[in-house]
Structure 1
Amino acid sequence: MEPAAASIPLIVGLVIAVGILLILLVQSNKRLKNNREETKSIKDICNTFIDSYETVVYLKDEQLNYRFINKAAEPHYRKSVTEIIALDDQRLDAEAFGPSIIETDQQVIETKEITEYEEKHKNRIYKIKKFPVKLRENRMGVGAFIREITDEEKLIKKQERVLFRNKILVNVLSKNFRNDQKQLDYVLHEALKLTESSMGYICFYHEKKQQFTLKAWSKGLIKGSEMVAPKLNYRLEEAGVWGEAVRQRKPIISNTDVAEPTSAQELPGGQKVMGNTIAIPIFIDEKIKAVVGFAGKEDHYSDNDVYEMTVLMNGVLTNVERRIIQKKLFEERSKYFQTLISIGDGVMVVDPVGKIEMLNKVAQSLTGWTNDEAKGRHYTEVFVLSHEDRRQEIPDPIVTAMETDQTQELKNHAVLTAKDGSVFHLEDSAAPIKNEKGETVGIVLVFRDVSEKKEQRKEIEYLSFHDALTGLYNRRFLEAELLRLDTERNLPISIIMGDVNGLKLTNDIFGHAHGDIFLKKIADVMRRTCRADDIIARWGGDEFVILLPRTTIEQAKQIKNRIKTEFARDGVKVIKGNISLGCDVKTAMDQSIMECLESAEEKMYAVKILERDDFKSTTLDSIITTLQSDSPQEEEHAQRVSQWCHDLGVSMELPHVKIRRLKLAGYFHDIGKIVLHKDLREDNSELTEEELIEIKKHPIMGYRILNAFDDTMSLADAVLHHHERWDGSGYPKGLKGDEIPFLARVVAVASCYDRLASAQEGEALGLNQNPLLHLEKMEGQFDPEIKREFINMIKNLPS
């Protein structure tokens, strides 16, 4: 093969190889271009991401010149990224993130260690992370991520404050403070920490009075308060910044750096607080209830402080008011519970299913169950209620109150049977117990024992138709019975009317108590004498009426005579029983029953007139006879005094009529002693003051006795005054001189002489001389003329 021919394949191969190489080179360049474009694109994307990142990112070389920084740094440096690159912080003349930025950069380069820290600068807070970065040629740079966390810190701090505030509230609500003052002191102490203040106060405010009451304060707030107790009450006009918060009805915030505080920062008493202050009114139900204030915070007070303190103090004041309300409620409940326990009525409380919750002492006494025994039992087991008439039923007031949800009054005739079988008549009421939602949560039953009241009611009913003294029917009842019994089937109807004689005399002499005995005796006689169906009534003071249905006039007269005879056997003291009686009868329906009554009364008065003189005569005789039989010495004394009076009258040459009156006056002068006990009629013993008072009543009693009879009425004054003295020192009226009736003056001398002259009296008086001489020496007691006449008369008597 020729050489030329041989080289052709070689050339061709070389061309192909070159072609392939060119192709590969073209492709390689294309890929390299694409890679560069992709790298640039990725770099641009990275820069976009980094620039949009709020965190500041930078890279510095070993000279601390900025090699890279993102756009987030521009606001901090107030320069663009291009102006920052290749400069250091000194040439930038800025402390964007605080003075320690250069120092910490160098520290990372030297130590080749990552560091993280927070930097506070110009009221801003930054979280900074720095790390070493290897550069070309073994150089070392520093990279950093700087993130502002001011808002985060504020949020965290706010959350911490909320937690702290809530902790305070929890403690306020859960701790057992000794009193409200201790609670408020605690709140103020914690609030100072919450607001980062150095001093503060809590004031309560009374809108109506426009007055502050200082409840809690910090040390140094009020000048001199450490030495003496501060003034606690302030009027609105003198309350300084506290008052301004009330007047404007809004929080007052004063953030100032001035050295001299303004008048707006003045506290009560003229003291002023420096620096930042805040005063916050606390509203409850649209009324200012308190004002809280703080001062001395380094940072400014803000709306957040207002919010925190408003929430806190609202909770505190609400709790204080709740405690006050609870205390009042507890006191009210205790008061009402103690009232239920201590009232004089029985009280039983049952739950909605009828189980007993409480019995007070009265309820325990009435039921016979103790509170411990009854508690938890169904009330029907303890409160056994029934009708007083066992054949009838009585409604259960508790069941009715439950069903109607209304207060129920127990009907009459209710009877409680106690545990021991005792029976009590009851009055009661059952009322629903409501909770705050108005739901019925039980029943309270109040009941009382009215057994005595029921008996009193019966007694009242009895007394309304009966005479209280005698137990007979009264006039009201008889008048009703006259109409009720005035029927044909009761004919003939007889009526007896009686009038007791001597009642007034008995009352006058012995007193009304003996007069009452007199009336009771005639009532007993009438009851014994009449039949069971007869109606006996006390018509008036001393008048009685007997209504006799189906009784003839003859039968009525027999009853009348038996009453008179029976009563004559009775009496009181010296007064014998005597009654004047008259009767009449109704035999036909056309007759008036009232006319029959009037006719019986007329006949009774006719009998009384006929019997009057005889009764008086026998009564006076009875008095004299009784006195004589009980006290013979009094009879002898009366006879002698009567004779001395007669003889003195003759000696004084008085008219015959007057002498006769003198003699009778002397005889009756001590008739009043009939009322005295037999022992008191003996004057020979030493008397007590009470006995002497009783004896001095006898002239008055004698006067009343003699005044009761026509024949002796003219002697009554002489008997009444025979113990008066000429000098006015006597009794019963203390008359003097000629004021004393003449007959009484004579009787006084005669009676005294006779007492002196009797051996027994003389011995009692210790006389060692004759009575006449003793009488002569008695001065001021007797009428001098009568005494002289009496002495002369005695001296002239034959020996």
Structure 2
Amino acid sequence: MDKKVDCDLLLQYLQSVPDLFFLIAADGTILDVQHDPDAQLYVDDGRQTGYSIRELLPMATAEVLMTAISESLAARNRIRIEYDLEMPYGVRHYECRIKPVPNKNEVTAVVRDITDINTAFLSLAKSERVYREIIEKSPFPVLIVRKSDGIIRYANRAASNSYRHHSKSILGTPITNMYQRQEDRMILLQKLDKHGFVTNHEIGMIDSDGNPFSSLVSASTIEYEGVPATMLAITDITRQKNGDDLARRSEEKYRMLTEFNSDVVWVYNVTRDRITYMSPSVHRLRGFTPEEAMSQSFFESLSKDSVESVRRTMTTNIEAFAKGGFDDSIITEVQQACKNGAYVWIEMSTRLRRNNVNEIEMVGVSRNIDNRKKAEAEILYLSYNDQLTGLNNRRYFVENFERLNRQENLPITMVFADVNGLKFTNDVFGHNAGDRLLIAFADILKKSIRRDDMLARVGGDEFIMILVNTDENRGRAWIAELESRISAASSHHGLLSVSLGMKTKTRVDEKFDEIYKFAEDMMYRQKAFDRQRFKSDLLYRIKHDLFAAVPEEREHSDAVARLSRMIGIAMGLNPIDVEELELAGALHDIGKIGIDPVLLNKNDELAARESDEIARHPEIGYRILETVEIFSGVGKAILHHHERIDGSGYPQHLKQNEIPLKSRIIAVAESFDAMTRSRPWHAARPIAEALKELKKNAGTQFDVDVVRAFVDDVLPRLPAR
């Protein structure tokens, strides 16, 4: 190297290499550190994050840095400072470049040890040889490029190692091979021609493996080998760039999170009683724009019920925080006002902090828990209330009936009620019909009790009423009135029958359990007495309702009963069987009460699904009659009256003698009357044609002996139609 290199340029080049990257808050707190493992650090690796600069550095040095940080944030400009530190191995000189983070109250600081650079600078003034040695042994790349053709004429050891291509020296190769974009090189040369030097010009370059990297290039025009040349000091700033990109991406990420998250992020300045930030998601939550929400005071946004509890909690926590004794997050459930005047349940997670001017702030995240609160209320309601009737349930009764056991409530009458035939109704007509009975009875009870009385559904068909200030006589009068209401309701809700039992408590020391047991026993006694009467009434009601829905069924049932009796006598059945056969004929279609009347009265041809529905009526009729003891003998006759001799009937596909004789007789009687009777969906067929149909299907659909008895003995005795 035959010309003295510009010392300032050397200093600039050495100073551009970072040893340590810090992310620092405005109050001096170190938020993140990225380090060069070879750097000489002031504290051990990994221990800086979370500390303040004032905790890590001597007071004088820390104040210099804090002043520089404040100036950088205020001016939003980069600032460079130098400072000395007393280290175990001597005094070291450091450079710190401070740069504000966009849109944040934070800075990045790149710190490097420049002790050796300063020493080198002093040595250069004394010795060209020392200067050359420093350049050559420097860990940072230095190149000298001939200006006329851009050929590299000198590369120090670091440059040779970093940029050689396939183990070949880069000497003699064009500098253009190292630029990602040639436009960057032209801009650098233009600046160099204009000013004679360039400091920290950012250029994209390519390393020896062809990988792009970011660099800061300082350049100066010199004379080398007797001709004009350019000296380049190249610093790889990829890590620094990545750090800046990381900060930008982090800022963007958190901005996106606050803007698009369904939760609302907000900051409330406690000292100034002012909301200073509100994320846009407040519009989805409460209908306000962020600006509208920020214009409200913190407590103005809360419901009246929430204000006092929140104010009390906040006051306690803020006082503790101000004394340095509280740093926990707080989760509170409140109601906040919406723009439309409604209130929404909010879960607020908050934490107190101090901002950069030492004011107390509350940082919060608000989440909509309206659905959760409604679900909790629903769960609480269902835990003490019956979902079907809306009455209190057994749990409520068990937990609360003792509270009525006070002298001022005596005498107390307990009434136990049980809805009769609920299982029968569910089995025959479906659970919806059973539910309607329970709801109807519950509505009657609600209208029958007073405000201070207790009413609960304690089982599937069981209810309990506790009537305060009600003696035995008044209790019986109350039951009589209740029975009257039940009777009136039966005409609207089907056959509603209820068995009731009661017991009156006259002393506080009488145990409720004994009163309960006595009332229950009385109810079961009444239920046993009511059972057969209820079932007989039920059968009558079913026939009445069926004939009301399908008027033709009355005449058809009477005719089938008469024909069945005549066939039974003709076939020699004993008088008891003949009576049962006649009854079965009269009730053979009673199961149609469980079929939609629209289907029973339909004039058009039935769809397959509709036919299947009507085919259920023998089974329904069987279940009805089996519940009534006096009719249980005719149940099977009705169940199988649609079976066929060849086994193709329903519901059980019985054949021949597997089919009860009474069922085979009803089948012939029912078919003959159906064919010869006018219905909305077909005209009556002549008797001769019906007779022909019976004979044709004897042995397949009908029993041969039954058809013969009907044709030979019954038909001649029938009146002409």
How far the C-alpha of 1:718 sits from its partner, in A, is 2.3
Rounded to whole Å, the distance in 2 between the matches of 1:189 and 1:675 is: 107
1:630 equivalent to 2:606? Answer no
What's 1:346 paired with?
A: 264
1:742 equivalent to 2:661? Answer yes
What's 1:772 paired with?
A: 691
Among residues 380, 388, 401, which one is paired with 2:305 in the alignment? 388
What's 1:424 paired with?
A: 344
3-state SS in 1 of match to 2:539 = helix
CA 418–575 in structure 1, closer or farther in 2 if over 3 Å, else same: closer
CA 702–330 in structure 1, closer or farther in 2 if over 3 Å, else same: farther
3-state SS in 2 of match to 1:394 = helix
What's 1:172 paired with?
A: none
Is the 1:397–1:408 contact (alpha carbons within 8 Å) kept by the matching residues of 2? no
CA 774–405 in structure 1, closer or farther in 2 if over 3 Å, else same: same
Rounded to whole Å, the distance in 1 between the matches of 2:312 and 2:143 is: 58
Rounded to whole Å, the distance in 2 between the matches of 1:452 and 1:616 is: 47
Equivalent residue letter for 1:509 = V
Is the 1:645–1:663 contact (alpha carbons within 8 Å) kept by the matching residues of 2? yes
CA 455–648 in structure 1, closer or farther in 2 if over 3 Å, else same: same
Range 615-624 or range 588-597, more displaced: 588-597
How far the C-alpha of 1:504 sits from its partner, in A, is 2.3
3-state SS in 2 of match to 1:571 = helix
Equivalent residue letter for 1:427 = E
Rounded to whole Å, the distance in 2 between the matches of 1:382 and 1:491 is: 49
How far the C-alpha of 1:466 sits from its partner, in A, is 2.3
What's 2:327 paired with?
A: 406
1:783 equivalent to 2:703? Answer yes
Is the 1:387–1:394 contact (alpha carbons within 8 Å) kept by the matching residues of 2? no
3-state SS in 2 of match to 1:569 = helix
Rounded to whole Å, the distance in 1 between the matches of 2:433 and 2:527 is: 22
How far the C-alpha of 1:625 sits from its partner, in A, is 2.0
Correspondences of 1:615-626 after superposition (within 5 Å): 615-626=534-545
How far the C-alpha of 1:561 sits from its partner, in A, is 0.7
> Is the radius of gyration larger for structure 1 or structure 2?
1
How far the C-alpha of 1:762 sits from its partner, in A, is 8.8
How far the C-alpha of 1:444 sits from its partner, in A, is 3.7
Correspondences of 1:116-515 after superposition (within 5 Å): 152=128, 155=131, 159=135, 165=141, 195=159, 200=164, 315=236, 318-319=239-240, 322=243, 326-327=245-246, 337-349=255-267, 358-373=277-292, 380=297, 384-385=301-302, 387-388=304-305, 394-395=311-312, 400=317, 403=322, 406-412=327-333, 414-419=334-339, 421-431=341-351, 443-515=362-434
Rounded to whole Å, the distance in 1 between the matches of 2:708 and 2:485 is: 55
How far the C-alpha of 1:553 sits from its partner, in A, is 0.6
CA 366–197 in structure 1, closer or farther in 2 if over 3 Å, else same: closer
CA RMSD of the aligned region, Å? 4.6
Among residues 494, 519, 528, which one is paired with 1:609 in the alignment? 528
3-state SS in 1 of match to 2:641 = coil
CA 317–391 in structure 1, closer or farther in 2 if over 3 Å, else same: closer
1:549 equivalent to 2:549? Answer no
1:600 equivalent to 2:519? Answer yes
TM-score by length of 1: 0.57
Equivalent residue letter for 1:786 = V
What's 2:502 paired with?
A: 583
How far the C-alpha of 1:638 sits from its partner, in A, is 0.7
3-state SS in 1 of match to 2:327 = coil
How far the C-alpha of 1:621 sits from its partner, in A, is 1.2
Rounded to whole Å, the distance in 1 between the matches of 2:153 and 2:302 is: 63
3-state SS in 1 of match to 2:311 = coil
Among residues 480, 487, 503, which one is paired with 1:568 in the alignment? 487
How far the C-alpha of 1:767 sits from its partner, in A, is 8.2
How far the C-alpha of 1:627 sits from its partner, in A, is 2.0
Rounded to whole Å, the distance in 2 between the matches of 1:334 and 1:197 is: 38
Is the 1:638–1:668 contact (alpha carbons within 8 Å) kept by the matching residues of 2? yes
What's 2:633 paired with?
A: 714
Rounded to whole Å, the distance in 1 between the matches of 2:622 and 2:254 is: 66
3-state SS in 2 of match to 1:614 = helix
Equivalent residue letter for 1:543 = E
Rounded to whole Å, the distance in 2 between the matches of 1:586 and 1:368 is: 58
Is the 2:346–2:368 contact (alpha carbons within 8 Å) kept by the matching residues of 1? yes
What's 2:81 paired with?
A: none
How far the C-alpha of 1:161 sits from its partner, in A, is 9.9
Range 419-428 or range 465-474, more displaced: 419-428
Deviations 1:717-758 (A, max 9, x none): 222232233333333333344443333232222212211122
Is the 1:493–1:586 contact (alpha carbons within 8 Å) kept by the matching residues of 2? yes
Deviations 1:61-112 (A, max 9, x none): xxxxxxxxxxxxxxxxxxxxxxxxxxxxxxxxxxxxxxxxxxxxxxxxxxxx
Is the 1:386–1:393 contact (alpha carbons within 8 Å) kept by the matching residues of 2? no
Structure 2: runs of 5+ lacking an equivalent: 1-126, 145-151, 174-207, 210-230
Q: How many residues are aligned here?
A: 526
Correspondences of 1:726-765 after superposition (within 5 Å): 726-760=645-679, 763=682
TM-score by length of 2: 0.62
Range 463-472 or range 451-460, more displaced: 451-460
CA 390–381 in structure 1, closer or farther in 2 if over 3 Å, else same: closer
3-state SS in 1 of match to 2:302 = strand
How far the C-alpha of 1:395 sits from its partner, in A, is 4.1
Equivalent residue letter for 2:263 = D
Structure 1: runs of 5+ lacking an equivalent: 1-150, 169-187, 204-216, 222-278, 281-307
What's 1:704 paired with?
A: 623
How far the C-alpha of 1:486 sits from its partner, in A, is 1.9
How far the C-alpha of 1:498 sits from its partner, in A, is 1.4
CA 320–790 in structure 1, closer or farther in 2 if over 3 Å, else same: farther
